[in-house]
Structure 1
Amino acid sequence: MVLSRFWLTIFISSILFVVVSLFTGNNHTIDYVLNGKKDDPILISEKYLNQVPVFIKDSIEKAPDQAMVINRDTTNIDTSYVYKNKTIKIYSGVQKADGLLPTCKNTLVDLILPLIAYLAFFCGLMELLIISGASGKLAKILSPVFVKVFPSLPKNHPSISYMTLNFAANFLGLDSAATPFGLKAMESLQELNPEKEKASDAQIMFMCLHASGLTLIATSIIGYRAAANASNPADVMLPCIITSFIGTIAAFLIVGIKQKINFKSASLVAVLMVLIATIVGLLLYVNHLDLIQKNAFTANLSGLILVGIIVFTLLFSFAKEKMFIEAKTTVFEAFVTGANNGIKTGVTIFPYVMGMLVAISLFRNSGLFEIISNWIAFGFSNMGVSKEITDALPVALLRPFSSAGSRGFLIDSMNTFGADSMTGRLSSIFQCSAESTFYVIAVYFGSVNIKNTRYALGTMLLVDLICVITAIFVAHWFF
């Protein structure tokens, strides 16, 4: 219900803002909101040749392509004057996101189709793990811990192994694997859900822990920083881990209090200690490596573990081939069956993802997001917050809405202020220590047709805020 109202609010308010801007003269056209593409120049005016200054008119008439670019100043995007069909079109600024129609197309072509491919492959592997009995063994091992975190789960339930693989993939930065495992977990949890259109306690806990974004190897962030010529691209790794870990603990505590979970359980404390020891151990190991070794380690660890999971699944399935025969199938046929289920899941979530991304596209292109973010930055600056922090806030504000959009702000902040500046580093921490909340909710809850997400959205946004505040303190502490 909350998600639906939020979706309607940003959709309707963005449309109204665009229409009002058109009739008040602030916008010359709304076509860019519907058909424009990201980074395209925005048409702000159209005039006849005799209505522009003489020096522009003369320059256009002399130009071979009848176009002219005027540099207004060094801090703003160039203004372009293009003469065509007896009128001069004036462009200034660039579009923040794809328009409504390109977003619909790109959601399918650039997002859903690749996601379906990932789902097909990893759901095929999941089918092998199920039939071979590997997932059941994993669930049995971890059941004592998971039944404390998810009290409504029966002992040794299959969802335990799926959630474990999802958390592990997120932990290692394996996004392509994390989503299929997570969707399989949601489907498994939905089987236990007595109210099929309403999120269960277990689903909310899983979603909030997933969205808290605990990451050990921030491979993509290191890559962006290396491309921006950072002196040490991996220097934000420890701040990212600390920030995301605090976010995960906050998510567990907030949801746990709501669901009245027993935090004094010895198994929970033991797992937490093991997790902390693992993080500290890996950090100590990485810290003694030089720059080249750090880059190699962070680039290869996740890939090697993913390959290891694939190899283990295939070898274990081959060793347990009798179980496939008993199930009247073969290893390959079981893989194909799982892959088909993955494709069906991808088709199911497409409308949910498209609807959310279109609303976000309108929100960004309408100018509302920019106005809100500017006011927030203005409020922080008046509270005495340094400009280095306020310059990084657009990444934090956009991160819950769009990973690609916040990534664009991240790259821009590093190009503008420098990868080794406080703004560049803080932007990197913002990007890696949170999740695209609205996208995740649309994908995961949409995959099982849940319409009432209860308090999941509010909790996830609160955790996002905690991660932002933590990132600021951690960045000041380290840098």
Structure 2
Amino acid sequence: MVLNLVWIAFVLLGLLATAVQVAQGQADAATRVLTGLFDAAKTGFDISLGLVGVMCLWLGLMKIGERAGVIGLFARGMAPFFRRIFPGIPPGHPAGGSIVMNVSANMLGLDNAATPLGLKAMRELQEINPDKAVASDPMIMFLVLNTAGITLIPTSVIAIRQAMAAEQGLAGFNGADIFLPTLLGTFVSFVAGLLAVAWVQRIRLLNWPVAAFFGGFAALMGGLWAWLAPLPAAVMAQRIGLLGSGCILAIVALFVAAGALRRVNVYEAFVDGAKEGFGVAVQIIPYLVAMLVAISVFRHSGCMAWLIDGIAATVRALGLDDRFVPALPVGLMKTLSGSGARGLMVDVLKTYGVDSFQGKLASIIQGSTETTLYVLAVYFGSVNISRTRHALACGLFADAVGLVGAILIGYAFYG
């Protein structure tokens, strides 16, 4: 419902502004908007087709990892941590494994692939829910962490950046250079969501599994920062890109090697997963085209420029750097719609350049924030939950903290 209102507002406000400009004698305003309309539809289709291969690749690899037992091993490794933050889930219940699978898909940046796994987890959590119309504590914790989940590899964002870099003639461009900033951004959002839900549900986080999780992550990030911070900006970006590429290749090697050792038919498993990936990639075409078309009307009519200029003027009046403002709409839209935010990110990359500060910041925000309202609506709707309790408030709090964190991280790395 909210996304429908946003889409209508973008189109009608843009067309109204265009009509006003034509009435004032700017005859080219209508032509500009119409040209942008068709260009946006073509861009959305081209980008979606470019994602087909990436989604097939990663869902194929996920299927190998699942059949080779790597995902199950990861689940057992995370079990002590999950038991502390999900005290309402009985030990050994299938919901635990589904939650880990969902988290794994989110960590690999497979947003759409994570959805069916999340819906499966919700159905299993509903089985142990004493009141079928009211969201249980484990459901709320799961969804808030899902909306603020850690993204290890922002696959879709990297694929889009690579495709647009080729269009912009950037030879040798490394789309994975946002790996570390995005990981830090998602961790900030994850911590905010976890603390918010734990405070409401009175979950004690002072125990060794939680301390080990946060301590290990903090130590890893601290070590990476100590290594990268002294380097010049250009060298830092190169090292971050190399690190992101190395992690991706290491995961590929791990899954394939584990499959071979476990005598899994790796080729067949990959093909089975890739078939699912093709369907997932094709499903986003109408959503991306729809949002890009609405955004195009809003932008080419001048409304986007007026909005950004207004926010920028306010930021400058406060004495702050306003370079982050063009990327800000990506974070605001991401709460409502992943495809809408993806469209805004593409618009920023196209307008300012893939390798610009604004382009990098928009990519970090897209990769490190989640569609809270969409996730809550779809997941709770799938099990007929009518009372969501504190899920929305905690999710929006995590979103707000994550957006601010992503902007600050963007300045720290690329400012």
> Normalization by structure 1: what TM-score?
0.61
The separation in 1 between residues aligned to 2:147 and 2:35, in whole angstroms, is 27
| Counterpart for residue 109 of structure 1 | 46
- Please tell me whether residue 122 in structure 1 is matched to residue 58 in structure 2: yes
| Counterpart for residue 44 of structure 1 | 26
SS, match of residue 389 in structure 1:
coil
The separation in 2 between residues aligned to 1:300 and 1:336, in whole angstroms, is 28
The alpha-carbon distance between structure 1 residues 28 and 315, as it changes in their structure 2 partners (threshold 3 A), is farther
The alpha-carbon distance between structure 1 residues 367 and 440, as it changes in their structure 2 partners (threshold 3 A), is farther
Compute the displacement of 1:390 (Å).
Answer: 3.2
- Please tell me whether residue 389 in structure 1 is matched to residue 321 in structure 2: yes
The structure richer in helix per residue is 2
| Counterpart for residue 81 of structure 2 | 145
Conserved in 1, the CA contact under 8 Å of 2:10 and 2:295? no
SS, match of residue 158 in structure 1:
helix
**Cα-Cα RMSD:** 4.9
The one-letter code of the counterpart of 1:16 is L
The one-letter code of the counterpart of 2:214 is L
The alpha-carbon distance between structure 1 residues 409 and 342, as it changes in their structure 2 partners (threshold 3 A), is closer
| Counterpart for residue 173 of structure 2 | none
The separation in 2 between residues aligned to 1:202 and 1:142, in whole angstroms, is 16
| Counterpart for residue 254 of structure 2 | 312
- Please tell me whether residue 26 in structure 1 is matched to residue 18 in structure 2: no
The alpha-carbon distance between structure 1 residues 349 and 214, as it changes in their structure 2 partners (threshold 3 A), is same
The separation in 2 between residues aligned to 1:145 and 1:389, in whole angstroms, is 40
The one-letter code of the counterpart of 1:320 is R
The one-letter code of the counterpart of 2:44 is T
| Counterpart for residue 274 of structure 2 | 339
The separation in 2 between residues aligned to 1:395 and 1:152, in whole angstroms, is 39
Conserved in 2, the CA contact under 8 Å of 1:183 and 1:444? no
The separation in 2 between residues aligned to 1:438 and 1:95, in whole angstroms, is 30
Compute the displacement of 1:160 (Å).
Answer: 4.6
The structure richer in strand per residue is 1
- Please tell me whether residue 13 in structure 1 is matched to residue 9 in structure 2: yes
Q: Deviations over 1:271-302 (max 9, x none)?
A: 11111111001211234556776454322222
Compute the displacement of 1:186 (Å).
Answer: 2.4
| Counterpart for residue 69 of structure 1 | none
| Counterpart for residue 129 of structure 2 | none
Conserved in 1, the CA contact under 8 Å of 2:41 and 2:293? yes
Matches within 5 A, 1:413-452: 428-429=360-361, 431-433=363-365, 435=367
The separation in 2 between residues aligned to 1:349 and 1:236, in whole angstroms, is 23
| Counterpart for residue 252 of structure 1 | 194
Conserved in 2, the CA contact under 8 Å of 1:244 and 1:433? no
The separation in 2 between residues aligned to 1:243 and 1:414, in whole angstroms, is 22
Conserved in 2, the CA contact under 8 Å of 1:136 and 1:158? yes
- Name which one, 1 or 2, has greater alpha-carbon Rg: 1
Conserved in 1, the CA contact under 8 Å of 2:56 and 2:273? yes
Conserved in 1, the CA contact under 8 Å of 2:56 and 2:274? yes
The alpha-carbon distance between structure 1 residues 280 and 452, as it changes in their structure 2 partners (threshold 3 A), is same
Conserved in 2, the CA contact under 8 Å of 1:395 and 1:407? no
Deviates more, 1:255-264 or 1:127-136: 255-264
- Please tell me whether residue 204 in structure 1 is matched to residue 165 in structure 2: no
Conserved in 1, the CA contact under 8 Å of 2:148 and 2:370? no
The alpha-carbon distance between structure 1 residues 313 and 351, as it changes in their structure 2 partners (threshold 3 A), is same
The one-letter code of the counterpart of 2:318 is V
Unaligned runs of 5+ in 2: 127-131, 171-175, 334-340
The separation in 2 between residues aligned to 1:136 and 1:476, in whole angstroms, is 38
Q: Percent identity?
A: 19
Unaligned runs of 5+ in 1: 30-42, 46-89, 170-174, 229-233, 325-329
The one-letter code of the counterpart of 2:47 is D
The separation in 1 between residues aligned to 2:210 and 2:295, in whole angstroms, is 38
The one-letter code of the counterpart of 2:280 is T
Matches within 5 A, 1:109-258: 109-111=46-48, 113-151=49-87, 155=91, 157-166=96-105, 168-169=107-108, 175=109, 178-179=110-111, 182-183=114-115, 185-194=117-126, 200-201=139-140, 203-210=142-149, 245-258=187-200
The separation in 1 between residues aligned to 2:267 and 2:257, in whole angstroms, is 13
The separation in 1 between residues aligned to 2:289 and 2:396, in whole angstroms, is 21
| Counterpart for residue 337 of structure 2 | none
Conserved in 2, the CA contact under 8 Å of 1:400 and 1:437? no
The separation in 1 between residues aligned to 2:272 and 2:224, in whole angstroms, is 38
The one-letter code of the counterpart of 1:247 is S
The one-letter code of the counterpart of 1:26 is Q
The separation in 2 between residues aligned to 1:432 and 1:97, in whole angstroms, is 29
Compute the displacement of 1:351 (Å).
Answer: 4.7
The separation in 1 between residues aligned to 2:112 and 2:203, in whole angstroms, is 28
